[in-house]
Amino acid sequence: MKTMKKLLSTILLISIFTLSGCFKEKENEVQNYTVISTQDLEKNIPNSNWVVVDTRENDAYNGWSLDGIEKGGHIPLALDFSSSWLNTKTERLDSILTTKGITQNKNIVLYDYNNKDAKKVADYLNKKGYKNIYLYNISDWINSGKTLESYKNYQMLVPPYWVKNLIDGKNGINNYKIFEVSWGDEKASPDYLKGHIPGAIHVNTDHIEEGPLWNRKSDEELIELAKNNGITIDTTIVVYGADSMPASRFAVILKYLGVKDVRLLNGGTQKWINAGYPVETTVNKATPVDNFGTDKPLNRDYIIDLEGAREILADKTGSRLVDNRAWDEFIGKTSGYDYIEPKGRPAGAVWGHAGTNSSNLDDYRNPDNTMRNAYEVLQMWKEWDITPDKRLSFYCGTGWRASEVLFYADVMGIENISLYDGGWNEWSGNTSNEPNPIETGIPAGK
C-alpha cells in the first residue's frame, strides 16, 4: 500500500512538472518577443538602425499621466504608434509606418505601461513580417530616474478621462463649460442630436462667423456670444465635436478674446465614446452672465486680418504665411470650394500641408483623429522653412483647418503664432474687386 502511494505521488509530481513546463512553453510561444533592458534601450536610442515607439494612447505621449503612471510624456526621440489605431480604418497604417521609419530592416522597441499595448502592436507587425521586435515597460525608465519629454502646453489638448473627471468634480475646477461645436442650431445639428457629452452646450458656427467672407464676427458680437453662453475670461472651456476643425475655430476665437483656459478634447466625440463614457441627447441651455471680464480682445495678435498677412509676407526672413490647404489648392489646380472661384495662393506663402481636400486634415491627425506628434509636424514644415523661431501665421480657405493647426502649434509651445482669418477667400478677392498678389503652380525648387 505504501509502495502504491509513493508511486501515485511520484506520478502526480511528474504530471505537475510536466504540465507546468507545457504552460511555460506555451506562454513563451505566445509572448515570442524579447524584453529589452533600460541600459540597452538607452544605448540604442541614437542608433539609426533602432526605432523606439510609444504604443500607449496619444494623450500619454503628449504629456498626460494615464493608467496610474506617475509621470506623463514620452521617452526622448520616441515615435508614436498607438495600439488604439489598430481599431480604426487601417488603410493609412502602412503609409504611417513608412513615414515614421518603422521598417522591417530596423530593430523596433515597442513600449507601454500596461503590458498590453506593446504586445498588440508587436503582433500586428509580426503578422506583417517584422522580426526584430523588442518590448519595454516605461515604468522601468521612470524608476531609473530618467526624464520624459512632454509638449509645453499639452494641458490644452485633453483626454476623455480628464473631461469625465471635470464633470464628476474631481479636477478641482468648478467654473467650467463644455461646448459641442458644429454647423446648425442645436435642434438641427445631427452631431449634437445624435449624442453629446453630458451637460455639453451646442455652438452653431454661424454664430461665430459670417458670410460671404466667413471671417469671425465683430468683437462686440463675439463678447456678447460669450456672455450669452455663460463664459467669462476665467471660465475653463472644453470644446469638441465629431470634427475638431469647427471646435478649434471656436477655441481660437475664445483665446483671441482673452479666455485664459481653453481646451480641446483630443480626438473629438469618437474618443469619448471609445473610452466607454455616456452620451445624452438632452438639449442643454447656458445660463448667461452679465460681465465677460473685458470689453475688448485681450489676445488680439492671435488672429490677424488682411494687413497683418501683407506685413508677414513682406518680412521674407523672419515670418511665414503658412498655407494649410490641400496641395492642389496650394498650386491652383482647384479652389477647394464651390463658392470660391479664384485659384492659387498668396504670392510668397509657403505650404504647411493639410490633407487631401478642403474637409480633410489628415496630415495633422493620427488615424483616430488625435494630434499628430510634433517631431513629424516640424519635419513636415522644415522643407518649406517653417520653423518655430519665426513668426508664423496659418491660413486656409476660410479658417477652420488653419485654426486646428494653430491650436496644435500652441500645444507644441510655439509662441509667435496667429491665424490669418480671411484666408484664401479674402486674399483672392473672391468677395471683392480687389485681389492681392497671387501665384499658381509648383514653386521653384519644389
Q: Which residues are catalytic?
A: 396
| Whole-number Å distance between alpha carbons of 368 and 265 | 12
Cell digits of residue 108 = 523596433
> Three-state SS for 154?
helix
Q: In 316-405, which ranges are E strands?
A: 319-323, 345-346, 350-351, 391-395
CA distance linking residue 206 with residue 204, whole number of Å: 5
Q: Cα dihedral sign for 69, 71, 74, 76?
A: negative
Spell 105-135 as b/e; 16+ CB within 10 A means b. Answer: eeebbbbbbbeebbbbbbbbbeeeebeebbb
Write down the residue that cell numbers 463658392 correspond to: 339
Q: Closest Cα partner for 423 from 414, 431, 412?
A: 431
Q: CA 197, CA 239: separation in Å to the nearest integer?
A: 11
Q: How many CB atoms lie within 10 A of CB 415?
A: 12
Q: Among all chains, which residue has been given the C-alpha cell 464676427?
A: 217
Q: In 3D, which of 75, 239, 74, 76 has the Cα closest to residue 156?
A: 239
Q: Which segments within 241-370 are labelled E, that is strand?
A: 261-265, 303-304, 319-323, 345-346, 350-351
Asked if 112 and 137 count as a contact pair (C-beta separation under 8 A), the reply is yes
Q: In what order do the strands lie in the sheet with 261-265?
A: 157-158, 261-265, 236-240, 176-182, 201-204
**Triad 169, 170, 171: Cα angle to 5°:** 100
